[in-house]
Structure 1
Amino acid sequence: MRYRITSILAASCLLAPIAVAQDGWTGEGAFSAGYTTGNTETADLGLSLKLNRKSGFWTYSGEAAADYGETDSVETKNRYFLAGEVDRQIGDKLFAFGRTSYEKDEFSGFDSRLFVGGGLGYLILEGEPTNWSVQGGPGIKIDEVRATTTLVNGAPVTTPATTEESFAFVGKSEFAHAFNDAVSLTNTTDFIYAQESTQIGNVLALTAALTDKFSARFSIDVRHDTNPPPGFEATDTATRISLVYGFGG
């Protein structure tokens, strides 16, 4: 499992210079150190990459993130996340989008989670110093739930692995405010609603520019599942300090 996560991390590092080479691509890469509570309590390291490209009425964006941690030489965190989105402007503030995301977390009780869907979005605020957009729409959610064993009245009870496919609804809010040329605050809230379980995430981040390309970032990431598998916590919280490199533009 360690080799798989290492491959994801290496791929993230290699994608950044490729993106810069492509005309019109902008984005950022970040290296982070953090502490996670919830299903595991561990210090961890992470890499992330965000890409964005605009072409006329179309906007293409992608995201990759990977986190790995150990406690006393024992793996306690191994998660990666991939997402891609295509937006089409259909008015001054209205846009349509298609989105897919994939998550694999060794310590969440879910072997993997996949979402494919789309809908409409709206730019509530646009320009300096504040930007705010919201979006939402229907889709399909597929959860691969791993087998779990818990004690019931002192006896082990095994819940078999299952695949849960369901109609879902995705929603997202992205807020950003620049206090000045060097310091900004962002808050991103997203959720995927389904009858079996609903995933809710929120990332609050404060970013301060160090140079033209490098920034320092402090963030709090909260993820909540309304119906986790037996024996798992519903909420994970990660506090991170990151060094961010911006490219393109």
Structure 2
Amino acid sequence: MSKFGLLILPACLLAVAPAYAAEPSPDSIPRGKEPPPLPAPVRQMLESAMASGNQGDIDTVAKVARQAYPESAAEVAAITNAYAERRAAEQKAKIREASVFEMWKGRGELGGFSSTGSTSEIGISAGLSIQRAGLKWSHTLTGSADYRRANGETSRERFLASYQPRYQFDPSGFIYGLAQFERDPIIGFDSRYTSSVGIGYKLIQTKKMDLSVDIGPSLRHVSYTDDGTETKVGGRSSLDFGWKLSPALTLRQTASGYVEDDLRSATAQTTLTTRLVSRLSMNLSYNIQYESQTPLTDERLDTLSKATLVYDF
């Protein structure tokens, strides 16, 4: 349904209303007597919205229909609930029948950044994330790169790639796995490999807000720029918080931390996403990274501010 259609919808319903003005109110309907049916033109508008598949249009038409014909609110609810159940069943069937190469969604981003801490400069940032959500299993692959080369020297070179499978064993609880690679020679390591398995829980699950936390043991292997290597067992924990401030504005906060016998590291990122058009958004993010040991610098804390354009596919 077009935006123009949504604008004239209330007027259309009001135009239909006089023909049904004689319909009794809910209080005047005798006990045991069925309420009047939803007017045919209104039902057709609701069915047209459902045929479009646009949930926003469906919600708008249903809301106006309930306001114009309160005595038919139960019928409107029955129609929309049946539609939602049918769509859910169709989606489950589609997921079951899909191959491992189908049902993937992703987003790519590109932009610039300014940094303080071990370096103070401006550079280029890029990222890619793809995800597949099944009935129980979900798979997420992410990659990011922050790079700058000035006057023949590389002053920032941070790369990250990770794979995280998740098994949802009930509506709130899940088991996660993590395999991750990092490279950041500016603060002292050529490579850092991380693996972790643990358990998590969704503390908040609403249309506008979600919050999940997880915890588990970790194993990290580091190759330092001075040719030394180290493998350590520790603990890992993370959180993921999202808040839909408006249809076009979303706030997300992610954080993770590692604790080992003599090492501590943590990262936190706050992102504000503004939707520009259907598939294009703009991200403003602020990242904080803490390393208790940085062989090549005295700085323990790095910050990274980024502005990127994001394309969903």
The counterpart of 1:74, out of the listed 153, 159, 163, is 153
Alpha-carbon offset, residue 24 of structure 1: 0.9
Instruction: Look up the equivalent residue of 1:207 and give its one-letter code.
Output: T
- Whose helix proportion is higher, 1 or 2? 2
The counterpart of 1:84, out of the listed 160, 163, 166, is 163
Instruction: Look up the equivalent residue of 1:239 and give its one-letter code.
Output: S
Alpha-carbon offset, residue 22 of structure 1: 4.2
Q: Which residue is equivalent to 1:133?
A: 212
For the pair 1:113 / 2:192, whether they are aligned, the reply is yes
Q: Which residue is equivalent to 2:25?
A: none
Instruction: Look up the equivalent residue of 2:281 and give its one-letter code.
Output: S
Q: Which residue is equivalent to 2:294?
A: 228
The counterpart of 2:305, out of the listed 227, 239, 246, is 239
Q: Which runs of 5+ in 2 are unaligned?
A: 1-99
Shift of the 232–109 alpha-carbon distance from structure 1 to 2, 3 Å rule, reads: farther
Q: C-alpha distance in 2, partners of 1:103/1:169?
A: 18
Alpha-carbon offset, residue 199 of structure 1: 1.5
Q: Which residue is equivalent to 1:25?
A: 104
Contact 2:162–2:181 (8 Å) recurs in 1: yes
Q: Match of 1:23, SS?
A: coil
Q: Which residue is equivalent to 2:177?
A: 98
Matches within 5 A, 1:1-249: 22-147=101-226, 161-229=227-295, 231-247=297-313
Instruction: Look up the equivalent residue of 2:306 and give its one-letter code.
Output: R
Q: Which residue is equivalent to 2:64?
A: none
Q: Match of 2:285, SS?
A: strand
Cα root mean square deviation, aligned: 1.5
Q: C-alpha distance in 2, partners of 1:211/1:135?
A: 33
Q: Deviations over 1:163-185 (max 9, x none)?
A: 11111211110001011110010
Q: Deviations over 1:102-140 (max 9, x none)?
A: 101121111211111110010011121001111110021
Q: Deviations over 1:13-71 (max 9, x none)?
A: xxxxxxxx942111211002011111111211011011111122101011001111133
Instruction: Look up the equivalent residue of 1:210 and give its one-letter code.
Output: L
Q: C-alpha distance in 2, partners of 1:162/1:193?
A: 20
What's the TM-score, normalizing by structure 2?
0.66
Contact 2:185–2:225 (8 Å) recurs in 1: no
Q: C-alpha distance in 2, partners of 1:66/1:204?
A: 17
Q: Which residue is equivalent to 1:151?
A: none
Q: C-alpha distance in 1, partners of 2:122/2:139?
A: 33
Alpha-carbon offset, residue 230 of structure 1: 5.2
Q: Which has the higher contact order (CA 8 A, sep 6+)?
A: 1
- Whose strand proportion is higher, 1 or 2? 1
Q: C-alpha distance in 2, partners of 1:219/1:244?
A: 12
Q: Which runs of 5+ in 1 are unaligned?
A: 1-20, 148-160
Alpha-carbon offset, residue 233 of structure 1: 1.5
Q: C-alpha distance in 1, partners of 2:107/2:297?
A: 37
What's the TM-score, normalizing by structure 1?
0.82
Contact 1:196–1:227 (8 Å) recurs in 2: no
Q: Which residue is equivalent to 1:18?
A: none
